[in-house]
Amino acid sequence: MSSRRLVLAAALALPVLASAQAPIIIKFSHVVTPDTPKGKAAQRFKELAEAKTGGRVKVEVHPNSRLYKDKEEMEALQLGSVQMLAPSLAKFGPLGVKEFEVFDLPFLFKDTEAFRAITDGAMGEELFRKLEPKGIKGLAYWDNGFQIMSANRPLHSVADFKGLRMRIQSSKVLDAQMRALGAFPQVMAFSELYPALQAGVVDGTENVPSNLYTQKIHEVQKHMTLSNHGHLAYAVIVNKKFWDGLPGDIRGQLEAALKEATAYANAIASTENDAALASIRASGRVTLHTPTPAELNAWKQALMPVHKAMEPRVGKATIAAAYRAAGFVAPK
């Protein structure tokens, strides 16, 4: 969508705060299906926000890239065409806030607690403050667990990646990750992934089981490796001008609603991914592989140079702070 069309959409979509009659409209856009952890959490926020404000706020949830594709939604938020998003953390690198790409470093997090040590602490707050000059306010982090690899060939060793065209989000870290494995990274909107895999435009991808299952990726892939090499999470963000212009009582009620929705999102991430993986297994369409300790260590050894290579982009101090908060220990 062109900037001119986005500006026009923004002008038409700005909520009317002055009227005591009309509810304040919040358009909440995201790129996954309603039955994913993020989709369910967005719906929970809608229900809580409308209840807590007594109907003074109406939240319109637009899932599955219904309003904007991946590359368009951030511009739409900045212009006010939508008021809220929940993009993956990789989306802030192209915006110029490259420190967020620290979350893409392979094998940075040994478990969920290590991830939340960053997002729930001072580092998570500091990263959100870096968004404000972009007209964006960060409100919450939503966890969605660990990612696995999929392709139409078995991915056991690093050599198995050689020559594969692997879909990634727009992230220099993820680009470097795939190249370190010998694959060719292909940036592509998530909504375009299924037909691209079906047509052979790309050979594989990485994602969490819940996203792979709800987008039916298991129907167009033959193999998945339970690598848990990366972690996927989202930031719930809002147009800062819109947020700052809300009446104080409504803003407080929305904050309370989001706090509850965040607890819900983080609580269901693990169970939703476990259930999705069980459904993928039960489909009989995909061969699932659990790496041996030796295979996993070989992946780690191949990917650790990505951490060092990304220091000039992400920031050496940012990576060091993430190491400390997450308790990262380099593989031997």
Q: Is 67 part of any domain? A: yes
Asked if 182 and 283 sit in the same domain, the reply is: yes
Amino acid at 148: I
Among 268, 285, 314, give the residue marking a domain's end.
Answer: 268
Q: Which of 5-9, 105-109, 245-249 has the lowest mean pLDDT?
A: 5-9
282 and 213 housed in the same domain: yes
Q: Which domain holds residue 164?
A: 148-230+276-326
Residues 150 and 221: beta-carbon distance below 8 Å: yes
How high is the mean pLDDT of the chain? 93
Residue 69 is assigned to a structural domain of this protein: yes
**Burial of residue 25 (number of CB atoms within 10 Å: 0-12, 13-18, 19+):** middle
pLDDT bracket for residue 298 (50, 70, 90): very high
Q: N- to C-terminal Cα distance for the chain?
A: 48
Quote the pLDDT of residue 9.
47
Amino acid 7: pLDDT: 46
Q: What is the pLDDT of residue 237?
A: 98
Beta strand extents in the chain (DSSP E only): 24-29, 57-62, 84-85, 136-146, 148-151, 165-168, 184-187, 204-207, 223-225, 231-239, 287-289
User: Do 176 and 242 reside in the same domain of the chain?
Assistant: no
- Checking if the pLDDT of 10 tops 50, the result is no
Q: Is the pLDDT of residue 326 over 50?
A: yes
Q: Based on C-alpha coordinates, what's the Rg of the chain?
A: 20
- For the segment 150-179, the average pLDDT, to the nearest whole number, is 97
Q: Are residues 83 and 214 in the same domain?
A: no
Residue 129 has pLDDT above 70, yes or no: yes
Please give the average per-residue pLDDT across 114-124, as a whole number: 96
SS3 102: helix
Residue 15 has pLDDT above 70, yes or no: no
pLDDT band with cut points at 50, 70 and 90 for residue 13: very low
Which of the four pLDDT bands, split at 50, 70 and 90, describes residue 66?
confident
**Both tokens assigned to 313:** 């982009």
Q: Domain for residue 39, yes or no?
A: yes
Report strand pairing: 204-207 vs 148-151: antiparallel
Task: Report the domain count for the chain.
Answer: 2
pLDDT at position 14 over 90: no
> Is residue 31 included in any domain, yes or no?
yes
Average pLDDT over residues 38-63: 97
pLDDT tens per residue across span 226-273:
999 999 999 999 999 999 999 999 999 999 999 999 999 999 999 999
Task: Classify residue 95 by its DSSP letter.
Answer: T
Q: Out of 268, 293, 314, pick the residue that ends a domain.
A: 268
Whether the predicted pLDDT of 212 surpasses 80:
yes
- For residue 332, the model assigns a pLDDT of 79
Q: Is the separation of the CB atoms in 30 and 191 below 8 Å?
A: no
**pLDDT-based confidence at 20, cuts 50/70/90?**
low
In this structure, the strands spanning 287-289 and 165-168 are: unpaired
**Statement to judge: residues 309 and 163 lie in one domain:** yes
| Domain match, 67 and 172 both | no
Q: Would you say residue 191 lies in a domain?
A: yes
- Per the listing, tokens 């290590």 go with 114
CATH code, 193: 3.40.190.170
Same domain flag for 206 and 252: no
Whether the CB-CB separation of 222 and 153 falls below 8 Å is answered with yes
In a domain, 102, yes or no: no
Asked whether residue 245 is domain-assigned, the answer is yes
191 pLDDT band (50/70/90 cuts)?
A: confident
DSSP string, 114-152: HHHHHHTSHHHHHHHHTTGGGTEEEEEEEEEEE-EEEES
In a domain, 134, yes or no: yes
Same domain, 158 and 305: yes
Least confident of 8-17, 98-107, 321-330: 8-17
Res 69: pLDDT: 77
Which phi and psi angles does 168 have, rounded to 5°? -135, 165
Does residue 201 sit in the same domain as residue 248?
no
Question: Same domain for 83 and 177?
Answer: no
Verify that 156 and 208 share a domain, yes or no. Answer: yes
54 and 155 fall within a common domain: no
pLDDT greater than 60 at residue 110: yes
Instruction: Tell which wins on pLDDT, 286 or 21.
Output: 286
306 to each of 94, 164, 166, 216, how far by Cα in Å? 18, 19, 17, 30
On the question of pLDDT at 2 being above 80, the answer is no
